[in-house]
Amino acid sequence: MIPVIPKREELLDRAFGRASRRVSGRRFRGSNVEKAIEKEVMRIDIAGNILSDSLFSIMTKTFSFEELEPFYQELVSLLIDVRRFKESLKRMKWAAGKILELKKEYISKVKGSRTTDQAREQRVIFYGRLNSILKDIEDEMNYLRECRRALKKLPKVKKMDTVVIAGCPNVGKSSLLAALTGSKPEIQSYPFTTKGILLGYRDDIQFVDTPGLLDRPFEKRNPIEKQAVSAVKHLADLILYVYDTSETCGYTLEEQEHLHHQIEKLGVPIIPVENKSDLSGKSLGFLRISCKSGEGVEELFHEIKKRLYSV
């Protein structure tokens, strides 16, 4: 989302070094003053272009907040100060433009030099101005580096039909994901959870298990955790809410129903299912499945496809 941002010294060394190498590898003709002017103009042109191109490259390779999917917009706004992020990019753009402006100005000054020393002096001043510009945006560059580190926590989910699995802890959500997809889930990091999220795929459907997110009442969460939960509504086309009517998960049916009603407020269609049908327990009238024996899993998958693709 954000490319590696070199340190100020690295940017300057790259620009000045490449300019010097290009000049040293070329023959110049004319008087000593004419050759000095041509050399210094070339150094200024190359160094200025490399620095401005480097800054423009950082901007073009950095994501646009407005172009993100709503799911990512909500998560990004939790991890970074979006206003400061945008201002930092604007300062990078200013710096890149200022470098090109100064390049033109100092090339003109070098061309007006009457001695080799004057030509060299103008180039040295230009190099000093480049250093000053990068110092002026050093805070912004440091903040973009912070943003890059923070945004590494974002999960890489695909843009496709997505089913999110919810329910109290230990009701069998990860087992259901494995039963539906027939494969070991892929683990992705997720902000404000220590367990990350689990991803699985089948027939162009993405299944997501969210340990630490949709597994406890909202009133027990702080505002940031609530927003992280809220972001899931942008990801999910459908939610599977898993009950354990045997209550061997450690949560009563009343507690499980309370969480179910809270998740309904996200406004995403829900299919409630009763897991652990192989164990005795009260039936709530929902589809009964057993991840352990496989009972009802294919029937549930057909229902998922019906709900996702119904017109």
DSSP notation for 126-152? HHHHHHHHHHHTHHHHHHHHHHHHHHT
Q: What is the reported pLDDT for 194?
A: 67
- The whole-angstrom separation of Cα 248 and Cα 170 is 8
Q: Which CATH class is domain 8-151?
A: mainly alpha
Task: Catalogue the E-assigned strands of the chain.
Answer: 161-166, 186-188, 197-202, 205-209, 238-244, 270-275, 287-288
DSSP string covering 205-235: EEEEE-TTTTTS-GGGS-HHHHHHHHHHHHH
Residue 311 has pLDDT above 50, yes or no: no
Q: What pTM did the predictor assign?
A: 0.82
Q: What is the reported pLDDT for 49?
A: 97
- The whole-angstrom separation of Cα 124 and Cα 100 is 16
- The whole-angstrom separation of Cα 23 and Cα 2 is 33
- The whole-angstrom separation of Cα 48 and Cα 96 is 9
- 281 vs 97, residue with greater confidence: 97
- Domain ranges in the chain with CATH number 1.20.120.1190: 8-151
Both tokens of 106, joined, read 């100092």
* 213-228: pLDDT as tens digits: 777 777 777 777 777 7
Orientation of helix 32-61 relative to helix 116-136, angle to 10°: 10
- Domain ranges in the chain with CATH number 3.40.50.300: 161-309
Helix (H) or strand (E) holding 261: helix 253-264
CATH of range 161-309; options 3.40.50.970, 3.40.50.300, 3.40.640.10, 3.30.465.10: 3.40.50.300
Q: What is the mean pLDDT of residues 95-107?
A: 98
- The whole-angstrom separation of Cα 190 and Cα 193 is 6
